Amino acid sequence: MKKVFGYPEFSAEGERVLCTYDNEYSDMLMDVRVYRMKAGTTRTFQRTGEETAVLLLSGKIRYEWEGNAETVSRKDVFTEGPWCVHVCTGTEVKVTAQEDSEILVQCTHNDREFPAKLYKPEDAPWGYSCVGKFGNVAKRRVNTIFDHDIAPYSNMVLGEVLNDRGNWSGYLPHRHPQPECYYFMFDHPEGFGASFVGDQVFKSVDGSFSAIPGGALHPQAVAPGYQMYTCWMIRHLEGNPWLQTDRCEDERYTWLHDAEF
């Protein structure tokens, strides 16, 4: 059985590897890593035949790409919106930490050339989902940094979810044919939740992730008292991109839409 959960540690160089094209999570068809950067350090990202998104999770960094430069900051993922540079094959992104920072880097194969873009918090506003439904225990905030509607030239989707304390997300249990990766962070280091992938369940903790094969149901929940952040990353399939309308709820649970709580 393919592994669908991971608890990777940071290396001595500050790299946390989630999925790659040839590790046990290769079904994700993406390369996803998180980096801790000390103030004053620089990392450069450039891949041939792949597109790259560099998302700021926390701290203050200077992006440099295609002759552009922008210094951006984010206190944390729970209080401020996302900054992300998205570039095509062969384009270099240089990141210099102005203070201790964390970034997430998402890549996948894509030979298309397209204009680089810096996504700002106002480009991906938080919006509440499922307000008042299911006893209001599935209310959460969601943003979409880019998807097929926003960036039809991309082979990826990138967004974020904030679970309210004790609430569910990805609910009702739903599936789609495209693979998806979740990266979890909590507002307190001891925070935890539960992530379901098909019939498997694991304890989600700060820095853990789930690798969701296409077709698997994947709801999750967070413990009361804690706020959970999920970076959600989907890989489009050839001829079958993920669309916002592709969310397919399991028919066993759809009666809950009309239930009284």
- pLDDT tens track of the chain, all 261 residues? 678 999 999 999 999 999 999 999 999 999 999 999 999 999 999 999 999 999 999 999 999 999 999 999 999 999 999 999 999 999 999 999 999 999 999 999 999 999 999 999 999 999 999 998 899 999 999 999 999 999 999 999 999 999 999 999 999 999 999 999 999 999 999 999 999 999 999 999 999 999 999 999 999 999 999 999 999 999 999 999 999 887 799 999 999 999 988
Phi, psi of 122, deg, nearest 5: -70, -15
**CA distance linking residue 107 with residue 195, whole number of Å:** 24
The SS3 assignment for 30 reads coil
Give the bridge partners for 239, in sequence order. none
Global model pTM greater than 0.95: yes
Residue 49 sits at φ, ψ, to 5 deg, of 80, 10
Region for 88 from its dihedrals, namely left if φ exceeds 0, alpha if ψ lies in -120 to 50, beta otherwise: beta
